[in-house]
């Protein structure tokens, strides 16, 4: 990592916020305390002349983030769904970052397609429009396939975007190292791991072949979900820097006036978008990780259409069960069980007191459940929960970062459709259904069945392992190391035999 380059990049960041007028807007929106506000202005003002000018026609924060590059734009996209954090006015300004950024030329797009697919655009498409949407990493063109006449969306990466992202990520690593060095207490948050996770997600987004694969898998997983659609991937017309999908015709989920004019039920849409996300995360362990309004449309028949599959989240079965039990515990206000789940999963050090942790969680949950539905917020819950877990020494779980972030984003999208939505009431049936199927008696039988399949692969080796065990028992005493090995082997063989017997019995009962 290049220290001078990173210092320079971070200085330019502060200078750009100062020169565009974004610094004051952000400090006011986040209600930063006076000492920190003064420090930020003092540090930013001397370098003001070093900042990027940006597009003067844009609002200050949008102007600063778009001038700084794609990584900063991604950050702004997330904030655009959180009016309760940054205020309605700033959130509305930041929504421009979702799909209304300055495009690159159609000539550059056609050249990129020709290089990536080894065919001229005119050979592939009978029609190819100017860009219809431009985001931080790529832009989209509407086209018509020459061979079938089908209308499609063609996504093309921005020229030089890979290099720009690597520079920003390099600076983020430097900032994370400085945070760890200057604030030892922050190490429990594992800032380096957080940036490493972010880097992995972003680098995957910069290879559109991976995005096409994600779209295909997501479509297969959700084929049975009522009121939800994923466009079909056109593999022959896709490559590393180009991806072609079926065209998604519909109204942007963030355009309330257009939704109302089309006769769509925004209350129903708000509930469906939250329940769909929870179903995908819990049921499939594979979810859309960038579900802001710019990536969701509503078809004329009322279906929610997802687009842009560059950031997808994956969580394993065990983590899904932990996450569901925590949510379910909060829904039922069973704080003792929420505390026990944290300990069982190893999220909180075992030397801490589970009852004290449960009382701390009650202090988090009860005030929230006593609020009016319009004030119950997942963002507020996560903020309070963060304070409690920090006090109890819980480390940041990098595997849950994208899940938690997406949950907050989806809540913001749902509330933009229906400000009075009670997220707990809407989430409860999905979480309860998952708990019933994943943790109840049927789940036990299913787990034992899977265990039996694994044991079956060891079946041919069991007689030999038992024979070796008997031979070892008949031999004279051996050194401790050999004895330890024999004991492990004995326990292993005995466990396999016992496990097979228990599984067979359970399958018989099931």
Which residue numbers are catalytic? Answer: 290
For residue 100 the two structure tokens come to 């209304």
Residues 239 and 232: their CA atoms lie apart, in Å, by: 15
Quick one: angle between helices 3-19 and 60-68, nearest 10? 160
280: which DSSP letter?
I
Residues 365 and 360: their CA atoms lie apart, in Å, by: 9
Residues 337 and 319: their CA atoms lie apart, in Å, by: 16
DSSP codes, 113-148: HHHHHSS-HHHHEEEEEEEEEE-SSEEEEEEEETTT
To the nearest 10°, report the CA torsion of 115, 121, 124, 129: 130
Residues 89 and 348: their CA atoms lie apart, in Å, by: 39
How do the residues of the chain divide into helix, strand and coil, expressed in percent and rounded to 5?
Answer: 65, 10, 25
Backbone angles phi, psi at 259, to 5 degrees: -65, -45
153: which DSSP letter?
E
384, 361 contact by CB (below 8 A) = no
85 alpha-carbon distance from chain centroid: 19
Residues 412 and 78: their CA atoms lie apart, in Å, by: 10
């Amino acid at each position: 990592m290049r220290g001078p380059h990173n210092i320079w990049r971070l200085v330019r960041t502060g200078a750009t916020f100062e020169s565009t007028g974004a610094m004051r807007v952000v400090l006011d929106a986040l209600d930063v305390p006076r000492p920190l506000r003064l420090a930020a202005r003092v540090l930013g003002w001397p370098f003001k002349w070093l900042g990027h000018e940006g597009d003067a026609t844009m609002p200050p924060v949008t102007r600063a983030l778009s001038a700084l590059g794609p990584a900063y734009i991604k950050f702004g996209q997330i904030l655009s769904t959180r009016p309760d954090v940054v205020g309605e006015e700033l959130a509305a300004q930041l929504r421009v970052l979702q799909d209304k950024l300055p495009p690159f030329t159609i000539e550059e797009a056609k050249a990129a397609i020709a290089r990536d697919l080894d065919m001229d655009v005119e050979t592939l498409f009978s029609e190819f429009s100017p860009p219809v949407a431009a985001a931080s990493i790529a832009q989209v063109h509407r086209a018509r396939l020459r061979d079938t006449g089908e209308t499609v969306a063609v996504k093309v990466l921005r020229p030089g975007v890979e290099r720009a992202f690597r520079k920003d990520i390099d600076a983020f690593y430097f900032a994370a190292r400085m945070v760890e060095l200057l604030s030892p207490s922050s190490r429990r948050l594992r800032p380096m791991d957080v940036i490493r996770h972010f880097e992995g997600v972003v680098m995957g987004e910069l290879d559109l072949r991976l995005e096409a694969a994600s779209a295909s898998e997501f479509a297969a997983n959700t084929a049975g979900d009522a009121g939800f659609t994923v466009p079909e991937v056109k593999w022959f017309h896709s490559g590393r820097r180009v991806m072609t999908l079926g065209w998604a015709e519909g109204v942007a989920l963030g355009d309330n006036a257009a939704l109302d004019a089309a006769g769509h039920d925004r209350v129903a849409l708000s509930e469906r978008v939250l329940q769909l996300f929870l179903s995908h995360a819990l049921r499939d362990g594979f979810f859309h990780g960038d579900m802001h309004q710019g990536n969701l449309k509503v078809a004329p028949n009322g279906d929610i259409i997802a687009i842009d599959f560059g950031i997808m989240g994956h969580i394993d079965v065990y983590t899904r069960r932990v996450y569901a039990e925590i949510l379910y515990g909060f829904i039922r206000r069973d704080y003792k069980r929420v505390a026990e789940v944290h300990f069982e999963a190893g999220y909180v050090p075992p030397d801490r007191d589970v009852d004290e942790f449960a009382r701390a969680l009650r202090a988090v949950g009860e005030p929230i459940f006593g609020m009016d539905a319009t004030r119950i917020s997942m963002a507020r819950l996560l903020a309070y929960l963060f304070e409690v877990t920090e006090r109890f020494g819980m480390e940041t779980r990098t595997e849950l970062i994208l899940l938690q972030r997406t949950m907050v984003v989806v809540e913001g999208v749902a509330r933009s459709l229906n400000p009075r939505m009670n997220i707990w009431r809407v989430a409860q049936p999905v979480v309860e259904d998952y708990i019933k199927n994943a943790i109840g008696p049927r789940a036990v039988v299913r787990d034992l069945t899977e265990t039996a399949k694994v044991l079956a692969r060891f079946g041919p080796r069991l007689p030999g392992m038992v024979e070796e065990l008997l031979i070892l028992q008949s031999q004279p005493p051996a050194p401790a190391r050999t004895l330890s090995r024999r004991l492990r082997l004995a326990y292993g063989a005995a466990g396999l035999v016992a496990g097979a017997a228990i599984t067979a019995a359970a399958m018989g009962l099931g």
